[in-house]
Amino acid sequence: MATTRLMPLHTGKGRDVGTAISDIIDYAENPEKTDYGRLITGYECDSRTADAEFLFSKQQYVAFTGRTRGADDVIAYHLRQSFVPGEITPEEANRIGCELAKRFTNGNHAFIVCTHTDKHHIHNHIIWNSTSLDCTRKFRNFWGSTRAVRLLNDTLCIENGLSIVENPKRHGKSYNKWLGDQAKPSSRELLRVAIDAALAQKPVDFNALLKLLLDAGYEIKLGKIIALRGENQKRFIRLDTLGSGYSESELRDVISGEKTHKPREKILQPVPDKKISLLVDIQAKLRAGKGVSYERWAKVFNLKQMAQTVNYLTEHSLLEYGALAEKTSEATARYNKLSAQIKAAEKRLAEIAVLKTQIVNYAKTRDTYVAYRKAGYSKKFLAEHESDILLHKAAKKAFDELGVKKLPTVKSLQTEYAALLAEKKVAYFDYREARDGMKELLTVKANVDRLLGTDRLDAEKEKVHEQR
């Protein structure tokens, strides 16, 4: 899933403008991450001297406008764009990054796009100059710009057949929360468990409950609201912050028998499934100039992907190659069928939109055209009613191109449009599921072919065939 993050870059921290620009550009242009500069693209600037060019444009801006800002001045914007591992090539990622920057800035700001391949996922660092090319204005980070760039990014990804984040969250999760049931329990969760265990021992009163918690290793701070601190806690935790069922009054009611205590269940977050990626052709990468560190990483990566591939084959009962090939063909056929169905629906929706417009134009200009015909196609009449007559002719031409013999009613077209739109929405959910399933099977089959050496055999057969 392609994701984006927009970050304004200020001076601050004792840095001047030139140093601040060069610091981020030097990081983005790291030769070990950009295939020694091959994956760096500059727009209206030379990537090697971008820091100097950005700084010069800011000096020109001050000279032209006379406007200056203080330490809060934004000197550049840094956009980070990430892609799903194995879904895109570095070259394609760089091209899409350039397209994103050009569309978002309307081509009015110089930028560089640096594609990094040092991580498991390919990602872009896009840096554009806050000063426009004509040095008369600056880019302002408007309200909702993050959402705007995300929508533009999603549009580009859909156009290029890439996956997107379907329901992006406004705020990110901590690592522990993301891990879900594998995460280390929080201090509050541990305290709730300790209280549950103490209540299970049937204390005679509230003081007996506190004594049990004291024996369990908790330090107790008495006051208006009782607070407790465990051995590895830095701060005390008040009972009224533990949620429903754990306040002092509720615990007293439980001990007296007025209420039944129900331990709070921890809400488990499902651990995201790791998608299988294509195996890396290590020898090809080494021939292309990769070093020993990359080879070490690639070997570990391939081992992990091979293990995931075997797990997938076992879980889906596809240990026989023939069954895997058949399943892959079926998944591809289903994807192509749904894709064709959606394209046909979109084509008809476009036709209906055109038809509705032309039917309305035809009806509005029909009387004028009849009068024009009765006037013997008079040039004077044409000059007086040219716009209506041209609309009428355009409508008739559109009907001929669409093969319409009898004009449908606008109401029937609206009904058909609504039905097609609902059908397309339903089909699109199936389409995404089929696409993901097909990609996964194609990746698994490619990895199996690599392991069995069938991909090399196929390549050799094609080479021999070409030589003949």
H/E/C letters for each residue in the chain?
CEEEEEEEEECCCCCCHHHHHHHHHHHHCCCCCCCCCCCEEEECCCHHHHHHHHHHHHHHHHHHHCCCCCCCCEEEEEEEEECCCCCCCHHHHHHHHHHHHHHHCCCCCCEEEEEECCCCCCEEEEEEECECCCCCCECCCCCCHHHHHHHHHHHHHHHCCCCECCCCCCCCCCHHHHHHHHCCCCHHHHHHHHHHHHHHCCCCCHHHHHHHHHHCCCEEECCCCCEEECCCCCCCEEHHHCCCCCCHHHHHHHHHCCCCCCCCCCCCCCCCCCCCCCCCCHHHHHHCCCCHHHHHHHHHHHHHHHHHHHHHHHHCCCCCHHHHHHHHHHHHHHHHHHHHHHHHHHHHHHHHHHHHHHHHHHHHHHHHHHHHHHCCCCHHHHHHCHHHHHHHHHHHHHHHHCCCCCCCCHHHHHHHHHHHHHHHHHHHHHHHHHHHHHHHHHHHHHHHHHHHCHHHHHHHHHHHHHHC
d(CA 225, CA 207): 14
In a domain, 306, yes or no: yes
In a domain, 288, yes or no: yes
Which residue type is seen at 364? K
In a domain, 270, yes or no: no
pLDDT at position 99, please?
Answer: 92
Token pair of 112 as six digits: 């560089």
In a domain, 145, yes or no: yes
Whole-angstrom CA distances from 192 to 93, 195, 203, 219, 246 are 48, 5, 16, 15, 8
In a domain, 30, yes or no: yes
Note whether 73 and 96 are same-domain residues: yes
For the chain (468 residues), the mean pLDDT of every run of 10, in chain order, is: 65 59 74 83 85 83 80 80 81 90 91 87 89 87 77 82 67 48 71 88 90 88 89 86 88 89 62 70 86 87 88 89 92 91 85 85 90 89 89 88 84 86 79 88 90 58 45
Contact present, 149 and 4 (Cβ < 8 Å): yes
Note whether 76 and 150 are same-domain residues: yes
Token pair of 425 as six digits: 């929405």
Note whether 343 and 427 are same-domain residues: yes
Which residues constitute the domain of residue 215?
Answer: 186-256
d(CA 321, CA 454): 11
Note whether 309 and 329 are same-domain residues: no
- What is the sign, positive or negative, of the torsion defined by CA atoms of 296, 298, 301, 303? negative
Note whether 332 and 445 are same-domain residues: yes
In a domain, 174, yes or no: no
In a domain, 24, yes or no: yes
Note whether 330 and 225 are same-domain residues: no
Task: Name the residue among 210, 212, 233 with its Cα closest to residue 222.
Answer: 210
Note whether 203 and 99 are same-domain residues: no
Note whether 290 and 142 are same-domain residues: no
Note whether 12 and 155 are same-domain residues: yes
Note whether 429 and 335 are same-domain residues: yes
Write down which residue in 296, 315, 334 finishes a domain.
Answer: 315
Note whether 242 and 306 are same-domain residues: no
0.75 exceeded by pTM = no
Q: How many structural domains compose the chain?
A: 4
Note whether 211 and 340 are same-domain residues: no
